[in-house]
Structure 1
Amino acid sequence: MFDINGGEFLILLLVAAIVIGPQRLPGYAEQLGALVRKARVWMKDAKGRIDTEMGDDAIDLDWTTLDPRRYDPRRIVRDALLEPDARQVPAVARVGAVSAPVGGAAPFDDEAT
């Protein structure tokens, strides 16, 4: 999130301890602890509300099937090319279609705007 490694974090803590001072450091540490406890309670409540709203659907979901590392684009394309096209209309259905007469007036449509 902040792209800070362990050494940089220790330096920041040391600078904060020097700037805050030894008299105020226990008070700020206590406030930080209270903030962390409140954040944990808030996250636990939020997770509980999400679980109750989602119901059993979220529990039964298999997350491994949605892993993007499992998708192979070559396999997906190969499967799409090998399966029959469901959109093709059979030749029998095309023969039975009747075309409108050419050159005549278009029929009146009451529902047209």
Structure 2
Amino acid sequence: MFNLGAGEVIGLFIIGIVLVGPDRLPNIAADAARFLVKAKKMAQNATNELKDNLGPGYEDLQVKDLNPKTFIKKHIGDVIDKNDFDTKPKPKIDPDLL
């Protein structure tokens, strides 16, 4: 989820001990863990509420489908010619001048 390696975790632990102190670090770590669990539950509840409010036909809706680029590719991607997206941008400076 956070892509942290062992060295990074140890570094964060040492910084935590220095900043907070070894006596308060377990309480702060437990509070942070509770906050992360609560935030994850809130996100899941928001997703479920969105699915419920959209009504029938949207049960299989994924949050990543709400991305506009994904939505366009999924719904009208077959209509648009793929060559329209493969155009190269025009250079801002004439290459012959370089």
Instruction: Compare CA radii of gyration and give the structure with the larger one.
Output: 1
